[in-house]
Structure 1
Amino acid sequence: MGKKSGLFLLCGAVLLFCLYAVRISYPAGTSGFPEVQAVTKVRTYDSLKRPVTVSFSKIPERVIINRLNGAETLMALGAADRIIAVNMQNTDWGKPYDDRYMEQGKALEKITYRNLTKEEAVLLNPDCIIGWYSTFTDKRLGTTDFWNARQVATYIQATSNMVKPGAGVEDECRFITDMGLIFHAESQAKLLTDEIWKEIEDVQEKTRYSHHPSVMVVEFSGGGLDVYGYEWLVGDMVRRLGGFIPCENGYISYEELIRLDPDVIFVVYFNHDLKTMMEQLTQNPAFSSLKAVQGKRVYPLRLDYMYTTAVRTINGLRVLSSGMYPDLAGDA
């Protein structure tokens, strides 16, 4: 009897452990048998930029997703049918989806909002919101605490708004991987991240004996330029592709740009301002002495190819590498 009692106690302990390790739900309309689902946990951030763990006991069914890149990521993972709203900011409005996702994107047009408000979001009754750090402010959709108190899961991309200083390609791949975990599409997510790392490895191999250029990624601001250095995602992309950024993040004067005189300049543009942004550099006599201007190596760079890029990371890498290494342009 002693041995049997011990065996029963052991089996009971194992059963309790298993029940503790998974979340059990009883869907309405079932016969009462428990539906056992493993809890998915991912690491992200809250509205105070603090690291947090978010748990999912099931795949989200009513998702508000921020911007083109986020929506395309869910499309790539086969989760477009989970989206109830796409929140487009002004800098995304009017931009087309990538050719790979054009058809699915058309189906989302009726649920696409321009600067979705907190009040509109509440009425949509989401169970998950995925966005930038700036998405979760009182002026926009409300804080993560506001939504978490209403049992709505929130996820903030690490490369947005300097949530994680120095966040780079690895963090974009982490985002894709996390989305794969949340939406139970791990194999699709791995294909996407493998493609990104292979692109980097291929460029590194092809340019092993090439001249590695000095590169600046700039954005016109007032009477000077904002520079994206290694602390930003695009800086990490340039570094991994073998480029050198000759200055730190920050704001520089036109005179400082002329002094630094990089081999290649990428000009960030947001929406319909491409021609204006490029001409400020290429048509201004003050910049005519720059090597990049003389060598016609000033290139436009879309915001969504260099900032919180998600599935467009591969596009950004190809644009950067083709500008840095013209011989590779045919491969981009």
Structure 2
Amino acid sequence: MRKILVGSALFACLLLSGCTRNIFTLPVQENPEALVRFNTPVQYDYNPAHYPVTIENFNTQGEPEQQNFTKPPERVVAVWQNSIETLLALGVGDRIIAGNGVPDKKFFRKEYQEQYSKIPYTGLQLLDLETTMMLKPDLIVGWHSTFAPKVIRPTEFWHKRGVNTFIARSSMITNKKRTLENEYKDILDLGKIFDKNERAQELVGQMQQEVQYAVSQTAGFKQRPRALIVEFLGKDVNVYGERSLAGDIVRELHGELLSPKEHNIGLEQVVDLDPDVIFVVVIESHYGREQDMVNRITQHKALKNLRCVKEGRVLPLPLYAIYSAGVRSYDGIKIIANGLYPELYKEK
């Protein structure tokens, strides 16, 4: 395997978190048997009447751009968890020739782990340009940062070579507000691209039903639960505001988001806010150590007397569930709904 590049977004997260592991020791895993399958002609079932399909996505400059598909893609490079897992959930994992940006299959839901294991190239590190081109993809799915000039190259580079691209809407730097609607739209668009409309509607419907359940069951509540969403970045505590996906989920679930502007906050200010529930965002380098992150709130001497601490309403919230989350938006909805309305979910 040639020189490998690490995605800038995750690399930045790891640096900011103070993680000491050497991510360059996590090589891309190659599955020779799966690669043989990709080099053997395969006829995928689809309805020709559903094509051509045109969707609106974005280019590297953040401008809306039309993407045209005359048939479902057959050789897909997918970058980051939301891209890979959404495709697996749609039932097109057998089209993924490289799924990178995730350290291990344990990060995926159990029902998708076997499919992930059958992808020819997997792992945290991204393939370099030469290797990616040799794989002859017809679609690359990722974040806005994936298509930076020094990462996998701009969208224009690929379009000139007949390769379509798909950027998750919430990952766009120009996107001023990240919403559940963005996640729904991504899933539905990918469903159209692969002629998996029914499955896409099912996935989105599950999320919408979960939101509606919480809203309908709490319609008579006189006071909305007050939520604070924080993330530890070294010694700093960052608040997730109303423009974040997590903030939008709180709003959709009829909760009140405290400190709606994204900024750093002192722990003494948390005491003044006295939230009903605190969600602690857990980034990639701390997966598996969620309780340690929660303990930074619950065991802090200045915060131990907060009502939410005493009531056990300080909950970990994985980054994969609230940032360009794709199908994992469902996890974000469930976690936040449980935190806002614990009495509602005791028996569910």
TM interval, shorter chain, is 0.7 to 0.9
Q: Does 1:106 align with 2:117?
A: yes
Distance 2:171 2:235 in 1: 25
1:88 — aligned with what? 101
Which residue of the other structure, out of 107, 117, 141, is the alignment partner of 2:127? 117
Q: Structure 2: which 5+ residue stretches go unaligned?
A: 1-47
Which amino acid in 1 is paired with 2:305? Answer: S
8 A contact 1:224–1:254 mirrored in 2: no
Task: Report the alpha carbon displacement of residue 328 of structure 1 after superposing the two structures with TM.
Answer: 2.5
Change (3 A) 1:276 1:139: farther
Which structure would you say has the larger Rg? Answer: 1
Q: CA deviation digits over 1:61-91, x for unaligned, max 9?
A: 11011223322221222211111010125xx
1:237 — aligned with what? 249
2:58 — aligned with what? 45
Normalising by structure 1, we get a TM-score of 0.83
Distance 2:321 2:314 in 1: 16
2:232 — aligned with what? 220
8 A contact 2:138–2:164 mirrored in 1: yes
Q: CA deviation digits over 1:22-78, x for unaligned, max 9?
A: xxxxxxxxxxxxx98732111111112222111112211110112233222212222
Distance 1:37 1:299 in 2: 44
1:202 — aligned with what? 213
Q: CA deviation digits over 1:201-221, x for unaligned, max 9?
A: 111011112342111111102
Q: Does 1:167 align with 2:183?
A: no
Q: Structure 1: which 5+ residue stretches go unaligned?
A: 1-34
Distance 1:113 1:142 in 2: 20
Change (3 A) 1:161 1:286: farther
Which amino acid in 2 is paired with 1:113? Answer: G
Task: Report the alpha carbon displacement of residue 317 of structure 1 after superposing the two structures with TM.
Answer: 0.8
Which amino acid in 2 is paired with 1:279? Answer: N
Which amino acid in 1 is paired with 2:229? Answer: V
Q: Report 1:1-150 matches (<5 A).
A: 38-89=51-102, 93=104, 95-108=106-119, 110-119=120-129, 120-150=131-161
Tell me the matched-pair count. Answer: 295
Tell which has more relative contact order, 1 or 2 (C-alpha 8 A, sep 6+): 2
Change (3 A) 1:81 1:254: same
Distance 1:154 1:306 in 2: 23
Q: Does 1:318 align with 2:330?
A: no
The root-mean-square deviation of aligned C-alpha atoms, in Å, is 2.0
8 A contact 1:212–1:242 mirrored in 2: yes
Task: Report the alpha carbon displacement of residue 102 of structure 1 after superposing the two structures with TM.
Answer: 2.9
8 A contact 1:42–1:55 mirrored in 2: yes
Distance 1:192 1:37 in 2: 20
1:26 — aligned with what? none
8 A contact 1:127–1:151 mirrored in 2: yes
Identity of aligned residues (%): 34
Change (3 A) 1:93 1:162: farther
Distance 2:202 2:263 in 1: 35
Task: Report the alpha carbon displacement of residue 331 of structure 1 after superposing the two structures with TM.
Answer: 5.8
What SS does structure 1 have at the residue aligned with 2:162? coil
